[in-house]
Chain A
Amino acid sequence: MKTYLPPKFLVTRDLAKCIRCEVCVNQCSFDNHYYDADDDEMKSRSENCVGCHRCVTFCPTGALTVRRNPLEYRENYNWRPEFIEDIIKQAESGGILLTGMGNDKGQRIYWDHLVLNASQVTNPSIDPLREPMELTTYLGRKPDRVTLGPDLNLEAELAPQVRLEVPIMFTAISYGAVSLNVHESLARAATEAGTLWNTGEGGLHPKLYKYGRNTIVQVASGRFGVHPDYLDVARVVEIKIGQGAKPGIGGHLPGEKVSAEVSSTRMIPQGTDALSPAPQHDIYSIEDLAQLIYALKEATHYTKPVSVKIAAVHNSAAIASGMVRAGADIIVLDGLRGATGAAPKIIRDNVGIPIELALASVDSRLRHEGIRSRASIVISGGIRNSGDVAKAIALGADAVNIGTAALVALGCRLCQQCHTGKCAWGICTSDLFLTKRVNPDIGARRLVNLLRGWSLELKEMLGGMGINAIESLRGNRLHLRGVGLTDTELDILGVRMAGS
């Protein structure tokens, strides 16, 4: 069938600069560039370009330019090009449209409407270059009080606590969705930076067991790769109920990406689709969640916190309260902009709520019920920089997860082709020709650098607020003000209008 779909990008080449080295041909995994021997010239099939910039980055002479195709539709606010082109795709495929990464739509991004405070005159700002500044965070269930016996001995041990040197972790990204090199980069970076990375739902490759002290292992509805050693080696066990990119449905890994190594790690036959059931079939209600939480605590002899991850949805506050009462030591909220390796586009773009609102309402609800200390709150879904991190902590998060930001550090340009398995940056693919593009030595270095940069920035912001420990920012909404928000939005965020 002749496709009616216009090219998204135009690739142009400055022939005066091009040396016909064919680097672009080798780098492009979407079959855009080719060498025309008859004309002795490099040429492009622009309709294949996804805008990932791999060729532009690696062209040794800077001869390539990628621009948006200046194809003008008749103006129509309702029928925007995206909707027209989606219909064309479905008319030609008859299927659910798949996509990758997070929601790219224009729903309000509340981080952009929140601003932070700083000290002036009445209290001094603190200079992190000259004074201690503490980001250390402990995740896990805490009691309401410390009870001391005579001689100041503690009457009870604390539930297991996990120490983070920086309140930023790497979010769940499964092996299979991304390559082993990406997993290794994340694991090594987390270990070096004193934080945690997360296996996602695809199991843990034996090569990475040595990073277990910094690893969260996931137990999802497909139970891929879950076995006693997997639970034993982890620092935290996480039950995945849902994710922000696709609330209500399970993980999707196309059979094409299930290579021999992926197959043995996931414990499924090579080449088969790994489709996680939409719900956990042993959790149809909150009391079932409590059973799974305690089954995992029993299996790990109460030595590690059990985390429960949900997508941020309308009733998150009530659900979170139930999760805490069911025994979750950490609750993870993944918002509307949470990313994925593959999800139905219609779900990614339309289901779930912004993480800022979910976080604010969950934190407020747990405090109102007097159970906030019983679980740590971790949030994810669209955290772009340390400013977002600081605002999330001020709204009430103990820590944040980053996924897309980490992948961008490894080269990702958000071209949203994760589901194709053809990632030219070698991140979201299991094609061995492509996966070697991520070198774990370099990948880990880039990730550690990112965390270091954000940590330094967090310390500067804390110092500016006159605070020298992250726990004094956590839930401290007086350090936030809203700009351009309605009263209802301010009320839900628990934040006052700037200037008030």
Chain B
Amino acid sequence: MKELNRLQNPYHDDKVIDACSIFGAMDTSGKRFSGKGVIRAIANMHDRGNGLGGGFAIYGLYPQYAELYAFHIMYLSQQGKQDVEAFLADRFHLIQAEEVPNRPTPAIVHPPLVWRYFLEVGRQKPEGQADDDYVVERVMEINTRFSDAFVFSSGKDMAVFKGVGYPEEIAEYFCLEQYEGYLWTAHGRFPTNTPGWWGGAHPFCILDWTVVHNGEISSYGINQRYLAQFGYHCTMQTDTEVVAYAIDLLIRKHGLPIEVAARVLAPPLWTDIERRPPGEQKLLRILRQVYGSLLLNGPFTVIIAHHGEMIGLTDRIRLRPLTVGTRDSMLYLSSEESAIRLVCPDLDEAWIPAGGEPVVGSLKTPRQTQPVAVAGASATLPDSRIVSR
């Protein structure tokens, strides 16, 4: 067993506390765009981080391998790499393996070796098990069993790039200005109780779900105990991990739509629920009764993304900032409005959503399985702010 905590939480705190800048940009028409703007925007919020973590998630990244799981793995030693590559060869059908391109920069010191692998689920998969479940299990296995190796990205046609440094330095190191995607999220981190560890940076990723998060979840203790009942074990001890697992449970396993899941994480006050029309009131009441232990209490803003959707959500009394901007088919989410204005000065609309109100951006045309997402232009965003207004 690898002592993840040795890296992630050396002082054995209850959980890893950090605060942050977050940014998300999505073209709801599905058109891929360069990350240059996103990098400028997150760099504009430099002072919200302290240089101990930065990262990006990019969707629509590998159209040439759209049907393959893309694993991004960081290695602390050559031995770790050899062990994991043998494991991958055994458990998966390996299509392509390469080092993630990077350029030496003065800001990035002692980077781990970062490789990416494009994989098909092999014949090792047990009969009847879903591909996704098999992949999740293997990721957990690598992350707990192999020393000196850590899978930090495991979805299809998307990837996470992250490390220790300011986000703009990470972007420079991984040459992110050269990539394109239809959805980007970014994060600058200000941890208060961990030395920098590359795996501890955001986004947090499992399959194609990613979370970037700003805040501290005061309900962490019970959220984590509740999730443990469903087989999720919070090995990283971060708030962000709790958010990711909660979303996976509610949406993937319990089949709730995202706007309903958001009402679990940030439910309306009881007095507010009692004022709603009968049908809605009943649903909201039952959600709180059943999932009360998943209420995320305390200050947070998250940007959750998976293929085709980007969701911004704050805690129900909005103790952390979130600003939304729209321009044509673009949806921006950011800790600060200035970052959006920097890259898109002439927004159609900009607003601050009420606490606990999810802002959802969805692809207008459901994502195709073709290598390139369907392009198209439209001036409105009918699917955003789904339940909020």
Contacts and interface: CB of A to CB of B under 8 A. Distances in A.
Interface of A: 119, 122-124, 126, 131-132, 134, 136, 138, 142-148, 152, 154, 158, 161, 367, 370, 372-373, 465-469, 471-479, 496, 500
Contacts of B226: 475
For A132, A373, A472, the residue with the greatest tally of chain B CB atoms inside 10 Å of its CB is A472
B218 A465 contact: yes
B221 interface: yes
A127 to B, nearest CB: 11
A270 to B, nearest CB: 46
Contacts of A476: 219-222, 225
Contact of B290 (A122, A124, A134, A146): A146
B318 to A, nearest CB: 11
A123 B260 CA distance: 26
B287 interface: yes
Contact of A123 (B218, B230, B270, B288): B218
B186 interface: no
Contacts of B293: 373, 471, 474-475
Contacts of B222: 471-476
Contacts of A367: 225, 228-229
A372 B293 CA distance: 11
Interface string B272-310: 000000000011001111111101011100000000000
7 contacts: A123-B216, A123-B298, A146-B287, A154-B283, A468-B317, A469-B297, A474-B293
B254 interface: yes
Given A147-B254, A472-B222, A500-B12, 8 more contacts: A119-B298, A122-B17, A146-B287, A148-B256, A158-B290, A161-B289, A467-B297, A478-B220
Contacts of B255: 147-148
B379 interface: no
Contacts of B139: none
A147 B192 CA distance: 39
Given A142-B289, A477-B221, A124 B271 contact: no
Contacts of A466: 216, 218, 297-299
Contacts of A148: 255-257, 260, 283
A147 B283 CA distance: 11
Interface string B222-260: 100110111000000000000000000000011111001
Considering the complex of A and B, which 5 residue pairs feature the smallest CB-CB distances, nearest first? Answer: A478-B221, A471-B292, A472-B219, A472-B297, A476-B221
Given A124-B299, A472-B295, A152 B283 contact: yes
B291 A146 contact: yes
Interface string B193-224: 00000000000000000000001101111100
B279 to A, nearest CB: 8
Interface residues of B, number: 44
A148 B17 CA distance: 35
A469 B282 CA distance: 19
B74 interface: no
A100 B255 CA distance: 54
Contacts of A161: 289
A124 B270 contact: no
B89 interface: no
Contact of B14 (A142, A154, A370, A478): A478
B95 interface: no
A467 B229 contact: no
A126 B289 CA distance: 23
Contacts of A475: 221-222, 225-226, 293
Contacts of A468: 297, 316-317
Contacts of B270: 134, 136
B294 to A, nearest CB: 9
Nearest to A135: B270
For A146, A370, A479, A496, the residue with the greatest tally of chain B CB atoms inside 10 Å of its CB is A146
Contacts of A146: 254, 256, 286-287, 290-291
A470 B277 CA distance: 25
B292 A474 contact: yes
B368 to A, nearest CB: 24
A245 to B, nearest CB: 31
B216 A122 contact: yes
B319 interface: yes
A474 B226 CA distance: 11
B19 interface: yes
B269 interface: yes
A123 B225 CA distance: 21
